[in-house]
Structure 1
Amino acid sequence: MSLFSNLKPKKVLFIATRQIGDVLVTTPLISKARELWPDAEFHFLGYRGKLEMLKGNTDITQIIETSDRPSFTEYLALFFRLFQRYDLAFVTQPSDRAYAYGLVAARTRVGILGGHPQGLTEQDKLKKNKSDKQNLWKKAISLHTVQVDYFDQHVITEKIRLLEIFFQHTASLFSKPISVSPPAGEAISVSIANQLRSPYIVMHPGPLTAYKRWPLAYWQTLITWAVQQGWQVVLSASPAKQDLQLNRDILSLLDAETRQKVVDTAGQLSIPQASSLIRGAIAYVGVDTSITHLAAACNTPTIALFGPTPPTNFGPWPNGFIGEQPYQLRARTQMVGNVTILQGPGTCVPCRKAGCDDHVNSKSECLDQLEPNQVIEALKNAT
């Protein structure tokens, strides 16, 4: 692989100002960059409370946290902390703020530009025109940019392609196994550890938004079946109120005998602790959320329930995969490495909308029609 750009940065900043899953999917890019610049110092800028996915990452020398809604005073302090301290910045999200941070921090920038789904409505076209205009200044300040493709390009590929400018033969970027680096594990509290019995399965029912939910009765059926196999079921969830309530609602549907074989860890685990829990599981079942990506990164057999989201864009990466695209856009069941992606029926799947009614509290018929038997068959094949 021969260098295309002569840039040899001593200090590099990676910028990921979004959710914890967006931080995790930058780790293959960081690993590839480390291969290219073994002696460079890498820093990472992200939102406070979203950076636990980087715990123990030996490639990162310093983590810089900022609020997702900074005050003027915080902006000013961050400006002086970042101002032209870096030779190169990787802007891994297309937001204006991320690019502004990159412009302040580094002499040279490469970055992701916003994209648009296929089959645009008139409203989408108006948004696209506005976005294209916003992209002009981002292109102008960047050495190299990569356009988001929500249907045909995986997010891991998208990030790694930021390195294209530094190589003459870019195909070799994907010629070796690519893996996501999970955070270092952390000891689980004694109260939870004492409840665990092997073999156990981790299940994570709660997504960030309601339109990615799988029906409560389906979780009841799946958990009951798993317990009948002699497995313990460990439920996980974020501390968010809706996720805690979701787990309580599921538990309320279980009969007393089944309930005794279920451990509810909802809101009690940090991301590194969740990593430890998942590593010890014989399998993981979860919806389209960041913890499902974490499970795949931990090399645990991972069953991911996908509805509107294209797996070709944001399916959990099967660790060690060689190439740019692990998945098909549409398949009821597809197993690649340690990851199985399940989709419901329908020619509209995946639509990339916020559910059938295109808002965060919408239902998704494709998930309502993804029946428990499909998940049970996937678990049989994965364990």
Structure 2
Amino acid sequence: MTIVSKLKPQKVLFIATRQIGDVLVTTPLIEKARELWPDAEFHFLGYRGKLGMLKGNPNISKVIETSDRPSFGEYLSLIGRLFQRYDLAIVTQPSDRAYLYGLMAARRRVGVLGGHPQGLTEQDKTKRSKSEKQNAWKKFISLHTVDVDYFAQHVIAEKLRLLEVFYPNPHDVFNKPISVTPPAGEALSPGVANQLRSPYVVVHPGPLTAYKRWPLAYWQTLITWIVKQGWQVVLSASPAKQDLQLNHDILSLLDPQIRQHVVNTLGELSIPQAGTLIRGALAYVGVDTSITHLAAACNTPTITLFGPTPPTNFGPWPNGFMGEQPYALRARSQTVGNITILQGPGECVPCRKAGCEDKASSNSECLDHLEPSQVIEALQSATQQ
């Protein structure tokens, strides 16, 4: 048994300074850490407004919020709250700032190291070499690090491997079923609750970036088919302006007879409320975004449309799966547990670029060629229609 595996920290700080979905995928790590250290006190540091996925999490006794662009005064305040108050910091994001927070807060650290996809071009090799140099100081201050692999390693396996150094046998971290813990539910507002009728399907068209979008006309076809099955459609959205506009554009395409069976939540649901809505749904259909991960965690039949993103890295985790990798890199359709991942055609799929033009505003041909009939077939299978 190594010395590290004998460590029993009393106070542990988890650090995830990114988006909502990145917070949710830390919950299996937190659960596994609780098995290791049943008496330890767990705190969580993340960005303000991004921690709703932890509401009611029984393993987290304190949530610490910080701005994603803190002022000098905020930095000083945070240093005072964190400085050397923890036995261990678990840094789940590879950013310099996350590591600096970990260095400031704890006596020991483990963390994820960033990198670049394995490639053959000289540009890839240059980026990889630069990344290795940037990571040297992070390795130096850490007990243990785990390298990102954007194609072969699932993000949840990546997080869980942060704990492998604390086990006599590193493979033990994967020897039990692994599940994502959704936030505790919250009552829906009367404005939404009074419109619902069962059965309903939640549809979430809006991703964070344009290159993960599915064509508007395809959503029109899918929603029309759902309503014709006698089901209600509930359109979900974040409060972001582009998501609200996207839902408005979809609604404008619908026949008035179809539209009267569609509830638009107008981006007014909190993350816990979204969980409540999804738990009551017959099924969920969405793009590659955080709410899709929430739907999977709620054990609702989940259909998700993947374009450039490798499902082997960031596919929604099927609760109860035991092992490191539930998915194949490329498959037009693959179902594991309650989750079906659909991908469009093309030898370049998945490329892990920002669409075909490799920029946030780009389209993705793989999604443009993912036909509504493929989604309808998956939804039929998930609902046994």
TM-score, normalised to structure 2, is: 0.98
Deviates more, 1:125-134 or 1:363-372: 125-134
Return the offset for 1:69.
0.2
Return the offset for 1:260.
0.3
Secondary structure of residue in 1 paired with 2:182? coil
Secondary structure of residue in 1 paired with 2:221? helix
Q: 1:353-372 to 2 correspondence within 5 Å?
A: 353-372=353-372
Return the offset for 1:176.
1.0
Q: Are residues 1:7 and 2:19 paired?
A: no
* Residues 3 and 167 in structure 1, CA contact (< 8 A), matched pair in contact too: no
| 1:23-58 Cα deviation digits (max 9, x unpaired) | 000000000000000000000000000000000001
Q: CA 1:143 to 1:3, structure 2 compared with 1: closer, same or farther past 3 Å?
A: closer
Q: Distance in 2 between matches of 1:268 and 1:336?
A: 31
Q: 1:101-120 to 2 correspondence within 5 Å?
A: 101-120=101-120
Q: 1:53-92 to 2 correspondence within 5 Å?
A: 53-92=53-92
Q: Distance in 1 between matches of 2:177 and 2:266?
A: 34
Aligned to 1:221: 221
Return the offset for 1:170.
1.8
Q: Which amino acid letter does the alignment assign opposite residue 306 of structure 1?
A: F
Deviates more, 1:360-369 or 1:111-120: 111-120
Aligned to 1:266: 266
Secondary structure of residue in 1 paired with 2:50? coil
* Residues 89 and 102 in structure 1, CA contact (< 8 A), matched pair in contact too: yes
Secondary structure of residue in 1 paired with 2:33? helix
| 1:191-213 Cα deviation digits (max 9, x unpaired) | 11000010000000000000000
Secondary structure of residue in 2 paired with 1:90? strand
Q: Which amino acid letter does the alignment assign opposite residue 15 of structure 2?
A: I
Aligned to 1:206: 206
Return the offset for 1:127.
2.3
Aligned to 1:196: 196
Q: Distance in 2 between matches of 1:371 and 1:9?
A: 51
* Residues 12 and 43 in structure 1, CA contact (< 8 A), matched pair in contact too: yes
Return the offset for 1:80.
1.1
Aligned to 1:97: 97
Q: Distance in 1 between matches of 2:246 and 2:268?
A: 15
Q: Distance in 2 between matches of 1:212 and 1:293?
A: 15
Return the offset for 1:173.
1.3
| 1:228-256 Cα deviation digits (max 9, x unpaired) | 00000000000111000000000000000
Q: Which amino acid letter does the alignment assign opposite residue 307 of structure 1?
A: G
| 1:131-157 Cα deviation digits (max 9, x unpaired) | 111100000000000000000000000
* Residues 287 and 305 in structure 1, CA contact (< 8 A), matched pair in contact too: yes
Aligned to 1:18: 18
* Residues 306 and 341 in structure 1, CA contact (< 8 A), matched pair in contact too: yes
Q: 1:201-350 to 2 correspondence within 5 Å?
A: 201-350=201-350
Q: Distance in 2 between matches of 1:3 and 1:240?
A: 48
Give the unaligned 5+ runs of structure 2.
none
Q: Distance in 2 between matches of 1:210 and 1:74?
A: 32
Q: Distance in 1 between matches of 2:127 and 2:334?
A: 33
Give the unaligned 5+ runs of structure 1.
none
Return the offset for 1:5.
1.8
Q: Distance in 2 between matches of 1:340 and 1:267?
A: 25
Q: Distance in 1 between matches of 2:173 and 2:4?
A: 13
Secondary structure of residue in 1 paired with 2:238? coil
Return the offset for 1:120.
4.7
* Residues 2 and 169 in structure 1, CA contact (< 8 A), matched pair in contact too: no
Q: Distance in 2 between matches of 1:363 and 1:120?
A: 25
* Residues 179 and 317 in structure 1, CA contact (< 8 A), matched pair in contact too: yes
Q: Distance in 2 between matches of 1:368 and 1:232?
A: 26
Aligned to 1:125: 125
| 1:47-83 Cα deviation digits (max 9, x unpaired) | 0000000000010010000000000000001011100
Deviates more, 1:109-118 or 1:31-40: 109-118
Q: Name the % identity.
A: 80
| 1:133-191 Cα deviation digits (max 9, x unpaired) | 11000000000000000000000000000001001212221121100000000000001
Secondary structure of residue in 2 paired with 1:46? strand
Q: Distance in 1 between matches of 2:123 and 2:247?
A: 37
* Residues 118 and 124 in structure 2, CA contact (< 8 A), matched pair in contact too: no
Secondary structure of residue in 2 paired with 1:313? helix
Secondary structure of residue in 2 paired with 1:153? coil
Return the offset for 1:2.
9.6
Q: CA 1:371 to 1:33, structure 2 compared with 1: closer, same or farther past 3 Å?
A: same
Q: Are residues 1:154 and 2:154 paired?
A: yes
Q: Which amino acid letter does the alignment assign opposite residue 82 of structure 2?
A: L
Q: Distance in 2 between matches of 1:72 and 1:174?
A: 41
* Residues 119 and 125 in structure 2, CA contact (< 8 A), matched pair in contact too: no
* Residues 4 and 168 in structure 1, CA contact (< 8 A), matched pair in contact too: no
Q: CA 1:244 to 1:301, structure 2 compared with 1: closer, same or farther past 3 Å?
A: same
| 1:281-319 Cα deviation digits (max 9, x unpaired) | 010000000000000000000001000000000000001
Q: Which amino acid letter does the alignment assign opposite residue 132 of structure 1?
A: E
Return the offset for 1:3.
8.4
* Residues 44 and 63 in structure 1, CA contact (< 8 A), matched pair in contact too: yes
